[in-house]
Homo-oligomer: A and B are copies of this chain.
Amino acid sequence: MPLAHRVPELGALELLLAVARLGSLGRAARELGISQPAASGRIRSMERQLGVALLDRSPRGSRLTEAGALVTDWARRVVEAAEAFDAGTQALRGRRDSRLTVAASMTIAEYLLPGWLIALRAARPDTAVSLLAGNSATVAERLLSGEADLGFVEGLSIPEGLDGTVIGHDRLVVVAAPGHPWARRRTPLTAAELARAPLILRERGSGTRQVLDSALSKSGGLAEPLLELASTTAVKAAVVSGAGPAVLSELAVTEELTARRLTEIHLHGIPLRRALRAVWRRSQLPTGPARDLLTLTSQPTPPL
């Protein structure tokens, strides 16, 4: 039952990627700072565990088999998720010597920031980042008090006392379990229909709920919620299990949508978009590391 018994440890996956990249067990071993026999043995036991031959070994090096290439691609995704985990937790640890302190809303901290931190590390390896996560209000506080150098928020407006720039957009999408009646509709949902429907929602005060509230105010406002849950994760789980539909950030549900655990319900007339903004203290344009991160995140984005 436990996954860990059927999936090789991260170290083994990392080793596999190194072998694929470098073309030799020995070189991969050297790169990871272990001995060649250790590498050889680990790959071998991984092959036994998976029941799949991964490498074609020859006296001139090792190449991936066809199956091995596929396995390596899947392994890469695990390792990339682990890199994001690493970047995130490292920032969360909040070392005092960090050169840049970032305050971010939950959604951004959860889904976007780790990737940015990885990119930043690649561009500026010497920048240690601290992360403070909270809602828009606490992000503003942290910036105004000087605790944070740069903030990221999603929402309709820039908090008082701050300047900022739009770095992207976040679409809210209506989702339901594939078995839900809405999943079989051939016509888009109207605002009125959405307003009438009991939804699974985050508790009052969450950013997502505010946007939804204001977008539906002209259509009669939100109906009484079906369920009020404390976290995005809990909402997703409830929707997947068929409890009812919900409105969630696109960022939170892309995976569930591609895997068909959830179905997007198309919506007519109401654009549920909100801007993602980088923010800072009024008239104190970010400099140094903060500026590096800002330029990194404000690449032109799809003008959808």
Interface of A toward B, CB cutoff 8 Å: 1-4, 6-7, 9-11, 13-14, 32-33, 50-52, 66-67, 69-71, 73-86, 88-90, 92-93, 106, 109-112, 114-116, 118-119, 122, 133, 178, 183-184, 186, 231, 233, 251, 254-255, 258-261, 263-264, 266, 296-297, 299-300, 302-303
Contact = CB atoms under 8 A, between A and B. Distances in A.
A80 B240 CA distance: 15
B52 A264 contact: no
Contacts of A231: 69
A263 B9 contact: no
B119 A259 contact: yes
Nearest to A258: B115
A88 B70 contact: yes
Nearest to A83: B3
18 contacts: A1-B32, A2-B11, A3-B82, A4-B11, A6-B86, A10-B10, A50-B93, A51-B93, A71-B92, A74-B110, A75-B85, A78-B78, A78-B82, A111-B258, A115-B255, A115-B261, A178-B296, A266-B303
A266 B303 CA distance: 9
Name the residue in A14, A32, A92, A110 with the highest tally of chain B Cβ atoms < 10 Å from its Cβ.
A92
Given A52-B93, A77-B85, A110 B10 contact: no
Nearest to A89: B50
